[in-house]
Structure 1
Amino acid sequence: MLMNGPAILYEILQALKDFHQRKERHVIYINKLPLTEEDKHLILDVLREGKVRIILKSNMQKVEWRETGISGVWIGVFFDRDEKPILETIEITDFPMLAACQSEDIEEAIKVLEDRLSSLV
Structure 2
Amino acid sequence: MENNGIPLVNVPMGPGSQDEGDMVLDYMKMPSEMDSYDIPILPEPEQASDCPQALAVLEQLQHHLQTYRVGDEPPIMLLSALAEPDLDLINQILGEGEVSLTLTGETEVKAQETVLAGVWRLREFDTNGDVVSESIEVADVPSVSRQQAFQSCQPLNAEQLQIPEGVLNAPSVLIEIGEASTIYSMQTEKPEAPHVINLSLLPFSPQDHSYLDQVVGQGSVTILSRGYGNCRITSTCVDGLWRVQYFNSTDQLILDTLEITDIPLVACAAPEDLSDSYERLIEIREVLV
Question: Under a length normalisation based on structure 1, what TM-score does the superposition of the two structures give?
Answer: 0.89
Q: What amino acid does structure 2 have at the position aligned with 1:18?
A: I
Alignment of 1:66-105 (within 5 A): 66-105=234-273
| Structure 1 or 2: more helix by fraction | 1
Aligned 1:25-104 pairs, distance under 5 A:
25-58=194-227, 60-104=228-272
Q: Kindly name which structure, 1 or 2, has the bigger radius of gyration based on alpha carbons.
A: 2
Q: Which amino acid aligns with 1:27?
A: V
Q: Is 2:14 aligned against 1:14? A: no
Aligned to 1:119, the other structure's residue is in SS state helix
Aligned residue pairs: how many?
Answer: 120
Tell me if the contact between 2:196 and 2:258 (Cα under 8 Å) persists in the aligned partners.
yes
Stretches of structure 1 that go unaligned for 5 or more consecutive residues are none
Q: CA deviation at 1:116?
A: 1.4
- Rounded to whole Å, the distance in 2 between the matches of 1:3 and 1:12 is 16
- SS state of the match for residue 9, structure 1? helix
Q: Taking every aligned residue pair, what percent have the same amino acid on both sides? A: 29
Matches of 1:71 and 1:83, distance apart in 2: 29
Post-superposition offset of 1:66: 0.8
1:20: how far off? 2.5
* Structure 2 runs not aligned, ≥5 long: 1-165
Distance 1:104 1:70 in 2: 32
TM-score normalized by the length of structure 2: 0.40
For 1:82, the aligned partner's letter is: T
